[in-house]
Amino acid sequence: MKILVFGNSGSGKSTLAQRLVQDHGLAHLDLDSIVWEPGKIAVPRAPEAVSESLQAFLITHKNWVIEGCYGELIEATTNHCTELIFLNPGLEVCLEHNRHRPWEPHKYSSKQAQDEMLQNLQAWVAGYYERQDQWSYHAHRQIFDTFSGHKCERSAG
């Protein structure tokens, strides 16, 4: 079982990934943990380092769940997965989830540091459906629509 979970920030990726880890004993990779410099959110690692970390995870684990919003990494990993899950609950759900996000100690030194980033995060999330970058709805939709394997989209309603 090799599952890719992707979508906007606040779409429920981490919650679903944790449930899959608990239910199926899967190894877990949050792509944030390899994209950003350790302890420095929004400070990107070199692309080569990100690629090496992703490849090392794929080689090391037989069964896994990988979650994130990084379209270029999701797309690069689709040929390794057995299932693709696109979480698309809508903008208001994502914004609300982010407002109530528990402290993520693997990303932030304190809950206060995380809360200080909330306004920037919410502004970025709000642009999801308009942006055309690799972390946008446009990119995610294309990945989902062109994937020929087992897939599902979970949206609001």
User: What is the predicted pLDDT for the residue at 104?
Assistant: 83
CATH number at residue 10: 3.40.50.300
Residue 47: exposure state from Cβ atoms within 10 A (0-12, 13-18, ≥19): exposed
Q: pLDDT tens digits for 36-60? A: 988 777 789 999 999 999 999 999 9
Tell me how far apart the alpha carbons of residues 125 and 143 are, in angstroms, rounded to a whole number.
Answer: 19
Cβ pair 13, 104 in contact under 8 A: no
- SS3 state at 66: strand
Q: Which domain holds residue 126?
A: 2-155
Domain count, the chain: 1
User: What is the predicted pLDDT for the residue at 47?
Assistant: 96
pTM: 0.93
Q: pLDDT tens digits for 54-83? A: 999 999 999 999 999 999 999 999 999 999
Mean pLDDT of 14-43: 92
Q: φ, ψ for residue 44 (rounded to 5)?
A: -70, 145
Which residue in 130, 34, 43, 146 sits closest to 86, CA to CA? 146
